[in-house]
Amino acid sequence: MKFAQPLIPARLLRRYKRFLADAVLEDGREITAHCANPGSMEGLKETGERIWLEPNDNPKRKLRYSWKLVELPDGHLAGIDTSVPNAVVGEALRARQIPELAAYDSIRPEVKYGKSSRIDFLATGTNLPDAYVEVKNVHFRRSGDWAEFPDSVTARGAKHLAELADMVAQGHRAIMLYLVQRDDCARFKLATDYDPTYARAYEKARAAGVEMLCYRANLSTDEITLGPCLPVDTAQQI
């Protein structure tokens, strides 16, 4: 997924009201940018952080900048836009870059299923069970090279796990795919202390046959693409 416009650097002043961030551009101007992330963004919203913004000239948009990346210590990057994982995974699915789903020749986004829900992607193919793919954004890291999810309570996430388990019970495949939007992580586990209810829903879904996958994104100021598959810790302490 290439950015529509070249990103420009800035320094973060504050993130507030969930979807807004004030920043200082390199020429000294203070601007307000759209922050496409309703989560807690723990560790990614500190005053003074170097961030990367995507400018736009769309007269229909209230804000001329969108916050896309945070520069981490040692030159690492983290993506903060929660719409990016679906775009990246969608491109990868259509290009058959995800081995676990490479046999499928039709990829449809936003298909209705479950209880008034939409699956991120429905993959279908001749003589193959339908594969329901839900994508989650991950950019939480506390220690070592562990990426963790979630970074706050997510009742909606637990609901998605239950609906995926229902798809398995109906004879389909169901995949929960976590995309890590930071390049300083090499493993994935649940943040069970942040949301024990989600952790229990995860274990129940996994026991029911829902496939748990994790991939890391390759991040740069030009584009974000699918990177390597990461090991998923199955020894959760709930």
Q: What is the CATH number of the domain that holds 107?
A: 3.40.1350.60
- For the chain, the average pLDDT equals 95
Tens of pLDDT, residues 74-116:
889 999 999 999 999 999 999 999 999 999 999 999 999 987 8
pLDDT recorded at residue 236: 62
- Does residue 236 belong to any structural domain of this protein? no
Are 109 and 72 in a shared domain? Answer: no
User: With 0-12 CB in 10 A as exposed, 13-18 as middle and 19+ as buried, what is 197?
Assistant: middle
Are 73 and 158 in a shared domain? Answer: no
Q: What is the pTM of this model?
A: 0.94
Of 25, 53, 79, the last residue of a domain is 79
DSSP-based three-state secondary structure for 135: strand
Task: Give the domain extent around 69.
Answer: 8-79
Mean pLDDT over 189-212 rounds to 97
Are 99 and 157 in a shared domain? Answer: yes
- Does residue 73 belong to any structural domain of this protein? yes
10 Å Cβ neighbour count for 127?
A: 5
Are 201 and 147 in a shared domain? Answer: yes
| Tally of domains within the chain | 2
Are 91 and 64 in a shared domain? Answer: no
Tens of pLDDT, residues 129-148:
999 999 999 999 999 999 99
CA dist., res. 137 & res. 118, Å (int): 16
Q: Is the dihedral of CA 107, 88, 223, 11 positive or negative?
A: positive
